[in-house]
Amino acid sequence: MNKTKILGIGGSPRKNGNTDILLDEFLKGAESAGAETKKVLLRDYSIEACIGCESCRKDGTCMQFHDGMQVLYPEIQTSKGLIVGSPTYNYNITSSMKSFIDRLYPYYNFTDDRPRHYSSKLANQGRKAIVFSVCEQADVRDMGFALEALEMPLDALGYEVTAKLPFTGYFDRGSVSKDTGVLKKAFEAGKRLAVSLR
């Protein structure tokens, strides 16, 4: 029997930072429940920003750029689960995470009526996702729109977002690693996702 594949996607430019550490815990939890996992740190990929050429509507994929997304599209398609995390930057996600999400646009099918309706090539396949963000301030309001900026596009693409987790109060690189309770929370959430995808 094939293992369920879960793809972890981290949007921090900072190596060994809080997002990296939490993403590792989520993935360890998923592995503990038998999932096959893969980690993608967006800073290791060159990802152009979508230029809105709309050519993917007829091509069905992005032919505009031959960049890191061409490696990531097959990974997304073959992964039933996604764990997507970004540090909060100015109440929002990082620019690399935004570019990545915008480049998921080829997964939409658009109709020609007005206003245009759309469906997703990834919908109705039992796909599920966890989203999380990490920020410096203790008050979750200082996370701004980061969690919604991750959740709403994934929801539109046909993922059931089963957990939306804010991690507040972490500023220094890796400071989250001292908080074993929080690491356990991430581990358990990853495990639950894997179990729910079995």
Ligand X SMILES: Cc1cc2nc3c(=O)[nH]c(=O)nc-3n(C[C@H](O)[C@H](O)[C@H](O)COP(=O)(O)O)c2cc1C
Please report, as ranges, the residues that interact with ligand X according to CB under 6 A.
12, 14, 17-19, 87-91, 134-137, 142, 144, 170-171, 173
User: Closer to ligand X at the Cβ: 170 or 187?
Assistant: 170
* CB nearer ligand X, residue 36 or residue 148: 148
Q: CB-wise, 110 or 171, nearer to ligand X?
A: 171
What is the biggest distance separating any 2 CA atoms in the chain, rounded to whole angstroms? 54
Nearest approach in angstroms of CB 79 to ligand X is 22
Instruction: Tell the smallest beta-carbon distance from residue 32 to ligand X (Å).
Output: 23
Q: Which is nearer to ligand X, 16 or 109 (CB)?
A: 16
Task: For residue 130, give every residue at least 6 positions away whose Cβ sits within 8 Å of its Cβ, in sequence order, or none.
Answer: 26, 81, 82, 83, 84, 161, 162, 163, 164, 165, 189, 190, 193
Q: Name which of 34 and 169 has its Cβ closer to ligand X.
A: 169
Q: Treating both helix axes as pointing N-terminal to C-terminal, what angle do 180-197 and 18-32 enclose, rounded to 10 degrees?
A: 50
Q: Which amino acid is at 23?
A: L
Instruction: Let me know: does 56 contact 109? Beta carbons within 8 Å.
Output: no
Minimum CB–partner distance for residue 75 and ligand X (Å): 21
Looking at this protein, which amino acid is placed at residue 28? K
Tell me the sheet residues that pair with 118: 110
CB 133 → ligand X: shortest distance, Å? 8
Give the CA count within 13 Å in the CB-facing half-sphere of 130: 31
Nearest distance from residue 95's CB to ligand X, in Å?
10
Q: How far apart are CA 122 and CA 108, in angstroms?
A: 8
